Amino acid sequence: MLDIRLIRDNPQAVKAALARVGDTTSVDSILELDARRRTLVGEIEAMRSERNAVSKAVPSIKDPAEKQAKISEMRALGDRLALLEKEGAEADRVFETAMLSIPNMPSEDTPDGADDSANVVAGEFGTRPEFAFQPKTHWELGESTGLIDFERGTKISGTRFYILKGELARLQRALISFMLDVHTREHGFIEVYPPFMVKEHCLYGTGQLPKFGENLYHDAEEDFWFVPTAEVPVTNMYRDEILDNATLPLVHVAYTACFRREKMSAGKDVRGIKRGHQFDKVEMVAFVRPEESSAMLMRLMESAEHILDRLGLPWRRLQICAGDLSFTAAAKYDLEVWAAGCGEWLEVSSISNFRDFQARRAGIRFRRNAGDKPEFVHTLNGSGLALPRIMIAILENYQTGDGRIRVPEALAPWMGGTSVIGPG
RNA sequence: GGAAAGGUGACCGAGUGGCCGAAGGUGCUUGCUUGGAAAGCAAGUGUAGGGCAACCUACCGGGGGUUCGAAUCCCCCCCUUUCCGCCA
């Protein structure tokens, strides 16, 4: 959520910023709603003030007739007030919903561009593997080795579900432990294991609601929503809190399964394990002082890149242009890994600086010094990393040609020394 | 799922219709004291909205109701704790 004061005081600047993400109408309409709301607030508060003053005086009025007259007067005022309050509440509700529907403003250093074709490749790292044979796709390898059971996955849960088996299931488990261990022991992040289901208000806090509910799963009978990313529960851990300045910057790392309806992308990426309704991810979530968020974005990005390097995977860094930013992000980088079998760059991490956009929604603040007014923190997050596509990259890049797959050296301690998986 | 007891400021904890934005304590900040520190003493210490200065308004789990007036009374809901049941 943007700061309404900023919009009021600098409407043209906000308008210009929002135009970069393709939003050209929000500012004018929000200013109208704000003006209307404030007019009502003024009227309502004046009436309340009068009522409070008179009510306070009522017990000391001696003359019974005069006392009764005042009470009647206040009763009438109360009736008028009730109507106005109803109107005010509705104006507030409309205003709030509109505020929650305005996207974040892009950072100054975010490049212009209308869509993903304008994203900037900001570096390519590692070496793409070369093969003396035609490399197979991961779905071919998965089936030929028996390490992925697509048929039974769809049998029990439908399309876009699969079952990892044997050494590949173990590989994913090893990857999760490896990532968590590197992030906690080498990068100094604090591990948390959050709930995979949250209350609705959490989705408002991080920005999935009210606009993107169609991508979420939720329980029909109770207020439980399946998390689409660990960002949701971990960011909301501190909702409505005033954090101690000494705890900042605070970085958590969490493993969760993620659940997404992926309604929008039906028909795309249907082969293999690239895009499912359920996938695993290790996520980094940071809470920092405003002046620290740009540096933290870099730190999170480097932490994710470190994992890719350790796994010996070829990858590239993309700076996301304004038009391709997600709703909540002010700045964003994607990391993509090269998958030799399907010959594609696969997004394995998205690192975003939300600045105070989520913090304002979720009420996450800190106090610089005792006695100071609370300020909103800046929040950031980044995948570190998404598991299925890392699995794809390992399967396809580390295939040996005889139907087997080498295990990246860095994973050896987490794989009990197993260096090759597959039949034979 | 059943029963009971509770949800008040950073924390503990008073408060059953107006004198309560809320006693008292703890914590925190500042000052005094001290060679320094602890202890002690004194003062200060919620958030948000509107005017943006004085000031006004709202908030005592959430929502609704009664009333001239509600933290205090009524209704609904949520949550927590304990016991029972069920389970991993």
| Three-class secondary structure of residue A132 per DSSP | coil
Give, in Å, how far the C1' of B3 lies from the CA of A249: 46
Which pLDDT tens digit goes with each residue over A133-167?
Answer: 999 999 999 999 999 999 999 999 998 999 999 99
Task: Name the closest residue (CA) to the C1' of nucleotide B55.
Answer: A49
ipTM of the complex: 0.85
What confidence category does residue A339 fall into, taking pLDDT thresholds of 50, 70 and 90? Answer: very high
Question: Residue A292's pLDDT band (boundaries 50, 70, 90)?
Answer: very high
Q: Which DSSP letter does residue A114 get?
A: S
A70, A122, A304, A314, A338 from A317: Cα distances, Å: 72, 5, 11, 11, 11
Residues whose CB is less than 8 angstroms from the CB of residue A109 and which lie 6 or more positions away in sequence, other chains included? A331
Strand B and A359 CB separated by under 7 Å? no
Task: State residue A265's pLDDT score.
Answer: 58
pLDDT of residue A423: 87
What pLDDT does residue A278 have?
95
Amino acid at A10: N
**CA-CA distances (angstroms) from residue A44 to A83, A97, A172?**
10, 21, 59
Q: A63: which residues sit within 8 A by CB, 6+ positions away?
A: none
Short-list A235, A236, A238, A233, CA closest to A257:
A233
The catalytic residues of A are 260, 275, 347, 350, 389
Say if residues A424 and A404 touch (Cβ distance below 8 Å).
yes
Measured to protein CB atoms, the chain B nucleotides within 7 Å are: 10, 18-19, 28-29, 44-45, 47-52, 56-58, 64, 67-69
Q: Which two tokens stand for residue A53?
A: 């003053």
Residues 187-246 of chain A within 7 A of strand B, judged by CB, are 242
Residue A395, preceding bond cis, omega within 30 degrees? Answer: no
Strand ranges, E, within A181-277? 190-192, 197-198, 225-226, 241-244, 250-259
- Cβ neighbours, 10 Å, residue A278: 15
Q: What is the spatial distance between Cα A311 and Cα A323, in angstroms, rounded to a whole number?
A: 32
**pLDDT tens readout for residues A238-288:** 888 888 888 889 999 999 999 998 775 556 777 899 999 999 999 999 999
Query: What angle is formed at CA A119 by the lines to CA A113 and CA A122, rounded to 5 degrees?
Result: 135
The residues, ordered by sequence, that sit 6+ positions from A46 with a Cβ below 8 Å of its Cβ are: none
CA gap A38, A35 in Å, rounded? 5
Predicted pLDDT at A370: 74
Q: Is the peptide bond before A388 cis (omega within 30 degrees of 0)?
A: no
A61, pLDDT greater than 90: no
d(CA A340, CA A328): 33
Binning chain A into helix, strand and coil, the percentages to the nearest 5 are 45, 20, 35
Residue pair A263/A215 in contact by the 8 Å Cβ criterion: yes
Q: Which nucleotide is nearest to A370 (CA to C1')?
A: B29
Q: A138-145 and A387-397 are packed helices; what angle lies between their axes, rounded to 10 degrees?
A: 80
**A39 closest-nt by C1' vs CA:** B50
Q: What is the tens place of the pLDDT at every residue in A64-73? A: 888 889 999 9
Strand B–CB A371 distance below 7 A: yes
Q: Among residues A420, A384, A422, A390, which one has the least CA distance to residue A314?
A: A390
Which nucleotide is nearest, taking the CA of residue A9 and each C1'?
A: B52
pLDDT tens digit string along A98-141? 999 999 999 999 999 999 999 999 999 999 999 999 999 999 99
The two three-digit tokens of residue A23, written as one number:
């939003």
How far is A357 from A355, CA to CA, in rounded Å? 6
**Strand ranges for A137-294 from DSSP E:** 148-149, 163-164, 190-192, 197-198, 225-226, 241-244, 250-259, 278-288
Instruction: Compute the distance between CA of residue A123 and CA of residue A333 in angstroms, rounded to an integer.
Output: 11
What's the pLDDT band for A199 if we cut at 50, 70, 90?
A: confident
Question: Contact A57/A112 with Cβ under 8 angstroms?
Answer: no
